[in-house]
Amino acid sequence: MSILNRCRGPLASLAIAAMTLAAPGHALSASGRVLSPAGIALPGVKIRLALAGLSTSSDASGNWSLAAGPSSIEATSQRIGGADHLFLSKGHLQVRWNGVDASGRGLFQGTRSAGFRAMAPRSQEIPDTLLFMQDDTLLLKDTISASRTGIVSVLDSTFNPHIVYGSLTDSRDGQVYRTVKIGDQTWMARNLNFKTDSSFCYEDDSSACTTKGRLYTWSAAMGLDDSCDVNACSTQVAARHKGVCPTGWHVPGKVAWETFMNAVGGNPAQPKLKAASLWPVAGTDEFGFRAVPSGYRSELGNYFRGKEYTALWSASEVARVVASAQEFYLGTDVDFVTSYKVEGNPLRCLLDD
C-alpha cells in the first residue's frame, strides 16, 4: 500500500510546498513538493500538465517539476487542435469544462500553436490544467497559468476532483480558499480559517482549523462586540453583513441559505452536499460544497461531535441569545436550526453580488 493510501482518512490532503510557476521563453513551468498533512514526503504521485501532455512523478523526497515549451502549428479555427475544451473567443484563450470558461485570459492574436501549447507574445497567458493522480485515480486538479504566483497552497483530497473551482486569496493573512458557484451564488468551498478573538480550533488542535475551519462565537463571526452573544443586536446587522469574512464576501442570512437550498433541489440534500470522506457515511459532494464535520465548542470550552456534526452560522438573529445556523449531521435533510450565540460554530462566506 502506498504512503498516499495510508494517509487517506479524516485529515487526508496533499500539500504543495514551494509551488512555483514561470514562463521562460513563453513556456509554462511548474514545480513543487507533495507532502502528507503530517509533512511526510509522498513519492509516486503522478503530476501531469493535461494540455501540454507532459507528466512526471514525485520522487522519494516528494519533489516534482514540469515544463511545457513553445511550438509551431497555426491555429485557424475557433476550436484548437480538435479539443472540445480549448477555444479561441474574441482573441482570448479559453479552457472550458461542461461549458464553463475556467480561464478566459491570454491574448492569442493570430499567434501559432501546436495542439494546446502556444508560441505567444510576452503578454499572453498560457493556461493549463495541473492534475494529481494516484493509481489512475484523479485526486486533484487546478487551472494554472504563467501569470499566477501559485495554486491553492493546500490541495485537499476531500475536494471533488470533477468540479472546476475558483479561488479567493484573503489579503489579511494570505490564505487561499477554493470557491464554487451553486446556482447564482458563489460560496467558499471550505470553512473560514481566519483567526480572530473568540475563535477556536476543534479540541485546540491547530490542524483541525486547516481541515475544518475555525469555530466562531456568533459575535465573532459577525464582527460585533461579544455582548451581542447575550443581547439582541439585530439592529447592528447589515443587509449584506461582512462580519469576519474577507472583503467582498459576507455572512449569509436565512434568505441566502434558502436560496442555496432551492439551487441544490431542496431536501434530502445532505448526501449531495457532504464531502466524499470525513463523515461516518460519505457524501457525494455533487455541487462541490464540501460540507465537513466540524463539531462545535460549548460555552464552557468543551468540544463535541467532531466527526458527525456541523452547523454553519447565518447572519440571522432569532432571539436575544440564539441565532440561526444551517445544520448537517447523520440524517439526510439539511435543517435550519437555532444555536446559542456563545457556542463556537464554523462559517462559510458568500460572495457579494
Residue 257's pLDDT is: 97
C-alpha cell at 339: 444555536
Q: Which amino acid is at 293?
A: P
What would the grid cell of residue 141 be? 486538479
Structure confidence at residue 54 (pLDDT): 82
91 exposure class (CB count in 10 Å sphere: 0-12, 13-18, 19+)? exposed
Determine the Cα–Cα distance for residues 249 and 228; give it in Å rounded to an integer: 21
Cα(176)–Cα(173) distance, rounded to whole angstroms?
A: 9
SS3 183: coil
The residue assigned the cell 509554462 is 28
Q: Where are the alpha helices (DSSP H) in the chain?
A: 3-7, 206-212, 218-222, 254-263, 270-273
pLDDT of residue 191: 97
Cβ atoms of 226 and 216 closer than 8 Å: no
Question: What's residue 30's pLDDT?
Answer: 72
Residue 314 burial by Cβ neighbours in a 10 Å radius (0-12, 13-18, 19+): buried
The predicted pLDDT at position 87 comes to: 56
Cα–Cα distances in angstroms (integers) from residue 259 to residues 170, 256, 306, in the given order: 25, 5, 27
Q: What is the DSSP letter of 80?
A: G
- Which residues sit opposite 323 in a β-bridge? 317, 339
**How open is the CA angle 85-87-88, to the nearest 5 degrees?**
170
Query: Which pLDDT score is estimated for 67?
Result: 73
At residue 220, the 3 state secondary structure works out as helix
CA distance 273 to 169: 23
What is the torsion angle, in degrees rounded to the nearest 10, for the CA atoms of residue 299, residue 301, residue 302 and residue 306? 90
> What is the SS3 assignment for 257?
helix
DSSP state of 82: G
In the chain, the N- to C-terminal Cα span, in Å, equals: 47
Q: What is the DSSP letter of 236?
A: G
pLDDT at 198: 97
What pLDDT is recorded for position 86? 57
pLDDT confidence of residue 133: 77
Q: How far apart are CA 137 and CA 135, in angstroms?
A: 5
Residue 266: the pLDDT is 96
Residues 334, 268: Cα–Cα separation, whole Å: 7
Query: Can you tell me whether residue 25 is helix, strand or coil?
Result: helix
Does 346 sit behind a cis peptide bond, omega within 30 degrees of 0 on the bond before it?
A: no
Low-confidence ranges of the chain (pLDDT < 50): 1-26, 70-78, 80-82, 90-92, 97-98, 100-125, 147-155
Q: Residue 309 and residue 291: Cα distance in Å, rounded? A: 10
User: Is 280:185 a contact under the CB 8 Å cutoff?
Assistant: no
Let me know: does 106 contact 122? Beta carbons within 8 Å. no
- Predicted TM-score (pTM) of this structure: 0.64
* 267 secondary structure, DSSP code: S
For residue 187, the cross-strand partners are 180, 350
